[in-house]
Amino acid sequence: MSPPGKNLIMVSRREFLKYTAATVPATQLAACGGGGDGSLEVVDWPIASAVYTTAEQQICPVGLAANTPPLNANDLPYSLYGYNAWRPQPGLKHETLNALAPGYAGAPNVARLLTFFSISDIHIADKESPAQPLYFGWTAPWGAPSNDGSAYSPVILSTPHVLDAAIQTINALHKRTPFDFGMSLGDAANNTQYNELRWFIDVIDGKVITPSSGDHLGAGTVDYQRPFKAVGLNKDIPWFQVIGNHDQFWSGSYCETTKTMAAHVGSTVLNMAAGNNSPTGGINGTGFYTGVVDGSTSLGLVIKSGPQDQWIPAPQVAADPDRRSLTTSLSSTANWMREFFNTTTMPVGHGFTRSNLDRDFACYSFQPKSGIPIKVIVLDDTMKGTGDQQYARACLDKLRLEWLVAELEEGQRNDELMIVAAHIPVRPQQTLAPDSNTFDLFVAPPSVVTDEKLLTILHGFPNLMLWMSGHRHINVISPQPFNANDLSDQPEGSFWEVETASLRDFPQHLRTFDIRRNSDNTISIVVTNVDPAVSPRSPAARSRDYAVGASRIFNATSASIGDATSQACNAVLVKQLTTRMQKVISAFGSPL
């Protein structure tokens, strides 16, 4: 490991515990190494000095030949045959997309209305938790489906470090053009654990992070296990939170059961069945111990896993109460929302209010910039309920749909432009290709709307300009026209949908939004992907290596491993406004 940042901190065990509010016993800290007096080193991980958007410089995988021998998921560190290789390339220009504004004739930008950033699907992971399905990804062969990569990828070793690098990158961009606010679009935690969510919030708050659990193996010797001081988001930038499926459900896919709740805080590694057609069949069955990451190894090998008949007695780990699930038998959202009130960045609650807690309701709205008629509607469109639900799909019950319609009606009545921020998109395009097919995500029943019905509702509010989301871990921009067969038919009823990729998996992008008024009083939404500015040999840089390698292993074909694109999607999205809103908006914005 290369030396950490220059601002290395030496703290005694007592000082460390007080500083981090961690629950690590002092006897374990003493075993971690550090100073001769038993103190523990708290390091920092500064990013590279040069910060680029993908419009200035892209990070691209190095394409492999079609006949490159395959690697399997556990063939770490993915350096063989260049599976993990990437390089910087020239920037990706913004493409102007004006299909939804057929009268637009290239009118220039004249004023800036709003700037903000989005991060999504961070999946902060407690890699040493005994309640994970690691075995099924760890043993996956080349070409295994992407859901095996969700079960395990070596990117889980450094999820807090990648978030810290992303936050430092955001701070650097804020110095160029100040952000009015930021949005985190859900799946902050990977497995709805208390410690995972605390690491997420504490990284953004700039606290000391102890990125390990249980026995805290390797905390004094292995770079990704070392306690580190996060930089924290610039205190001038308020940030707001959306709830995702992984924030509420076991592995984002199953409702928590007595078995999984006990596994989180227990000492016995989870035992579950391999693939099953029933959405909850695997977790309810037995047959395989799913394993944990060995934090004492530099590669983070998965241990204590495999067929149950090979383990007598069952594999054990050190239990940790901070691994407890945030979900209860009564609510999948209340405990999760409550943690956002324990923060030092603004606003307290990060969008959630005491009313949200009292009602156990994870939807809210806010005006991000005083004096600018733009409203953000934060929508919880995740699945609810117990049983055989499809928890990775979208759902709106009657209460949430009625709330959404009321918020849209209010924004329309008040002459406000509107943005919906949700975790799951609505009928997005399948891929980056402009002629790709669309994909339905809302499941009816139990959802009271399908994608088609929801789009019909949304098209009734011409002040809606943008739906932003995450969930699919890809960067895709989808036009949502009022009339797909005739784009000239009521174009003001059309809106754009923009997805932000995951900080977990390649391409590990965040995204910036710059909303501008044009001289003809159309609106341009400038959307730009950004690679976190990782420094060489840091855990975040190694995570990029792993993310590139994993993308070549899961869902791979002999053709796909030759892909050398950044998967970025930069564009200027033109939105047509009603005659009324053109008059309203003409007085707003700061000169460019």
How is residue 316 annotated by DSSP?
B
**Is residue 576 a contact partner of residue 167, using CB atoms and an 8 Å limit?**
no
How far apart are alpha carbons 470 and 118 in whole angstroms? 9
For the purposes of burial, counting CB atoms within 10 Å of the CB of 435, is it exposed (0-12), middle (13-18) or buried (19 or more)?
A: exposed
How far apart are alpha carbons 588 and 586 in whole angstroms? 6
- pLDDT value at residue 26: 30
β-strand partners of 516: 112, 524
Candidates 272, 117, 133; CA nearest to 179 is: 117
Name, in order, each residue with C-beta under 8 angstroms of 262's C-beta and a sequence gap of 6 or more: none
- pLDDT value at residue 434: 77
How far apart are alpha carbons 61 and 545 in whole angstroms? 9
What residue spans define the domains of the chain? 9-42, 57-591
Name, in order, each residue with C-beta under 8 angstroms of 438's C-beta and a sequence gap of 6 or more: 427, 428, 429, 430, 478
**Is residue 441 a contact partner of residue 424, using CB atoms and an 8 Å limit?**
yes
Q: Is 372 helix (H, G, I), strand (E, B) or coil?
A: coil
Q: What angle do CA 332, 246, 146 make, to 5 degrees?
A: 150
CATH T-level fold of 57-591: Purple Acid Phosphatase; chain A, domain 2 (3.60.21)
How is residue 441 annotated by DSSP?
-
How far apart are alpha carbons 423 and 453 in whole angstroms? 19
How far apart are alpha carbons 53 and 570 in whole angstroms? 10
How far apart are alpha carbons 291 and 576 in whole angstroms? 53
pLDDT in tens, the chain (592 residues): 334 454 444 444 444 433 343 333 332 333 333 444 456 789 999 999 999 999 999 999 999 999 999 999 999 999 999 999 999 999 999 999 999 999 899 999 999 999 999 999 999 999 999 999 999 999 999 999 988 999 999 999 999 999 999 999 999 999 999 999 999 999 999 999 999 999 999 999 999 999 999 999 999 999 999 999 999 999 999 999 999 999 999 999 999 999 999 999 999 999 999 865 444 458 889 999 999 999 999 999 999 999 999 999 999 999 999 999 999 989 999 999 999 999 999 999 999 999 999 999 999 999 999 999 999 999 999 999 887 789 999 999 999 999 999 999 999 999 999 999 999 999 999 988 878 899 999 998 999 999 999 999 999 999 999 999 999 999 999 999 999 999 999 999 999 999 999 999 999 999 999 999 999 999 999 999 999 999 999 999 999 999 999 999 999 988 889 999 999 999 999 999 999 999 999 999 999 8
Answering whether pTM is above 0.85, one says yes
β-strand partners of 169: none
Q: What is the largest CA-CA distance in the chain?
A: 75
Q: Which two tokens stand for residue 94?
A: 């913004």
User: Kind and range of the H or E element at 90?
Assistant: strand 86-90
